[in-house]
Every structure is written in structure tokens, then in C-alpha cells.
Amino acid sequence: MMNTKTIAVLTSGGDAPGMNAAVRAVARAGITSGLRVMAVRRGYNGLLNGDIYEMNLRSVSDIIHRGGTFLYTARSPQFNTQEGVQKAADRCRQMGIDGVVVIGGDGSFRGARDLTGAGIPCIGIPGTIDNDIASSEYTIGFDTAMNTAVQMVDRLRDTTESHDRCSVVEVMGRRCGDLALQTGIAVGATTILVPEVPYDFDRDVIERMQFTQKTGKKHFIIVVAEGVGGVDKLAKDIEERTGIESRATVLGHVQRGGSPTLRDRVVASEMGAKAVSLLCEGKSNRVMVVRDGRVTDLDITEALQMKRPFNKELYDIALKISI
Ligand code: ADP
């Protein structure tokens, strides 16, 4: 028995390339399954202030290749209160919305859990460039962000090499070093600094640089995760200690934008369609995840309690070969 008649979709928290592909999949899978699909603008704020409209199959045309989120996104402090959640649930009931797909990060999933608790079944889809969701091996936007970071560091490398310099590059990732690790490997960084692994300036930066210098290396890339930070000071300290001219670059929000890669479009499409199937089956409080390379789902509350393991084996390999 299918009880769900009208579902809504929103994007919340930080944006990520591929969110549009996920919204498109929710809309198309929902409509072709006989549901009404409502679009909610600006995350939970749209539920609170009724910024909601019904989509048709063409509402999501020409967005699969676009970065950002055409539904816009927001952080909503007002929703993050008991009254806010109640008000959002009341709005859903008033508009006949009996299921919501929330595309965002852990914060957005806490909101989805609370909204489910207030009587509106929710399904989460992980969309964040940081890959920092413990329950999922992969988050939508990560592949695009990594590829952007690699392109940017490749450009820095050209000029770093021409001048025999050291480039200290900050990539995104406040709590999670995955973007730094993957980018660092792909650009051949001499050192990769991530929040998960404490570092020693002498041992992990200076001595590695000096060792490779003795083997003939003249230019260096140091990749630093946002959560480690301090790239200006690091560049200054490196220059003082080694005499090698060093420059700091913060890649910043360029990593958030751009056309999503194939992987992000495909994962987003699969997760979007499967999220709709879950709502049709009467399931709620679930989050789509990649586990052992496959798209599946978990209970949101359990997912939020998981701890993300850092790939230390890959980190050690990176250090071994970037020498
Ligand atoms: P992300 O989803 O990218 O982690 P945020 O942490 O900013 O981004 O969360 C997005 C929104 O989700 C918040 O603005 C808030 O409305 C809602 N949210 C975050 N944490 C909670 C919570 N503990 N309970 C209910 N809603 C929350």
C-alpha cells in the first residue's frame, strides 16, 4: 500500500556540485511514480515561510550539469528550535506534504530527524564537498571539489616550479582531511597536513623538504586541510627555516562551484531515485549512503552517531611516495 501522495525536496547547509542532479532525480522519480513533487527554496527556511512550489518533469530540465543548487540553500537558525520544527511540520501538513527529501550535511540530517519526530517522514541525501559524513563512504560534490582542487594546484605548480618556490595550499575540510589527502596524492605534495593526524613541523615539513632537496628537488607543494589552517604562518616559517621562497594560497570557495563530475551526477541520480522509493515504501528517518561502494540506506539517528575512520593506510602511502 502506497500512502505517500505528495513529497517535497530541499537543499540545506553548504552547497555542493551535484545537488541539482539529486533534486532532478527526486522530481523525475517522484513524478513518474505518480507523486506530486514540491520544491522548497532555501532549505528549512522555505518550509517555515512557505516558499514552496509544485514541479513538473520540465522543472528540472537543464540543471544536471550545473553546480550550486537551483533551489538555493540556507542555514536556518529559526528551524533549529522546537517551535521551528513544529512550524515546519505544520506547514507540511497544511500543504499535504507527507514526505521530505533533505539534501545536505550532518546538520541538515539532524533537522530531518527532528522533522520526522514531528510526524513528517524524511529521507536524507549526503551533499557536501568535504566528504565528512561518517555513515557514507562518499558524499555528493566531493569528486567535483577534488578535481577542482587538483586543477588549481596544477596551475600553482607551474609557477612554483618556474621560481623554485614552495607553495603551501589550503584546501577545504574543517573536520575531514579526505579532500587534502586525495588532492595531495594527485598533485604529488611533499607533505599533507590533515586534522586527523597531528603533525610535527620539523619532522613532517622541514625534514621531508630537506631530504627531497638533497635528492635534487627544488620546488615543493604542501597541501593543508582547512581544519589545520595557518598557511600564512606555515609559509613564513618554511621560508625562514629553509631559505626557500614560500607562498601561501587558500583555494577557498572555488572548490564549492563548477559543473559536477560524472561521478557526482551518477551518485546523486541514484540516491535521489532511491530516496523516493523509500518514501513510497513508507520508510522514514533514513539517510542514503555509499557502503562498500554501493548506494544503500541507514537509520539517520544511527548514522549521526557513527565516527568517520580516516584512511591512514592511504595517508602513509602518500608520504612514502611523495619523496
Ligand atoms: P550541513 O547540513 O551542511 O551540515 P548546517 O550544520 O549548517 O549544515 O545545518 C543546516 C541546517 O540544518 C541548520 O541551519 C539548521 O536549520 C538545521 N540543523 C542543524 N543542526 C540541527 C539540529 N541539531 N537540530 C535541528 N536542526 C538542525
Residue of 98, 106, 114, 130 marked catalytic: 130
User: Quick one: which atom of ligand 1 is closest to the CA of 75?
Assistant: 14
Q: Of all protein residues, whose CA lies closest to atom 5 belonging to ligand 1?
A: 107
Please name the residues in contact with 189: beta carbons below 8 A apart, sequence gap of 6 or more.
Answer: 153, 183, 221, 222, 223, 318, 322
Please name the residues in contact with 45: beta carbons below 8 A apart, sequence gap of 6 or more.
Answer: 51, 74, 76, 78, 79
Q: Of all protein residues, whose CA lies closest to atom 12 belonging to ligand 1?
A: 108
Pocket perturbation via mutation, ligand 1, pick of 40, 80, 114 by most ligand atoms within 8 A of CB: 80
Contact of 271 with 291, CB cutoff 8 Å: no
Domains of the chain: 6-141+260-304 (3.40.50.450), 146-256 (3.40.50.460)
Q: What is the pTM of this model?
A: 0.96
Polymer length in residues for the chain: 323
Phi-psi region of 260 (alpha: psi -120 to 50; beta: other; left: phi over 0): beta
d(CA 89, CA 304): 21
Q: Of all protein residues, whose CA lies closest to atom 8 belonging to ligand 1?
A: 13
**CB neighbour class for 46 (10 Å; exposed up to 12, middle 13-18, buried from 19):** buried
Q: Of all protein residues, whose CA lies closest to atom 27 belonging to ligand 1?
A: 111
Pocket of ligand 1 (CB under 6 A): 12-14, 44, 75-76, 79-80, 104-108, 110-111, 114, 128
Q: Tell me if residue 54 falls in helix, strand or coil.
A: strand
Cα-based distances in Å from 193 to 171, 274, 310: 10, 36, 13
Write down the pLDDT at residue 308.
Answer: 87
C-alpha cell at 69: 543548487
Write down the pLDDT at residue 3.
Answer: 63
- Look up 316 and say whether it is catalytic: no
Cα 92 to averaged position of ligand 1 atoms, centre (Å): 18
Q: Tell me if residue 249 falls in helix, strand or coil.
A: strand
Say how many C-beta atoms besides its own lie within 10 A of residue 136's C-beta: 27
Pocket perturbation via mutation, ligand 1, pick of 40, 108, 109 by most ligand atoms within 8 A of CB: 108
Residues of the chain with pLDDT under 50: 1
Contact of 100 with 115, CB cutoff 8 Å: yes
Write down the pLDDT at residue 12.
Answer: 98
Contact of 100 with 77, CB cutoff 8 Å: no
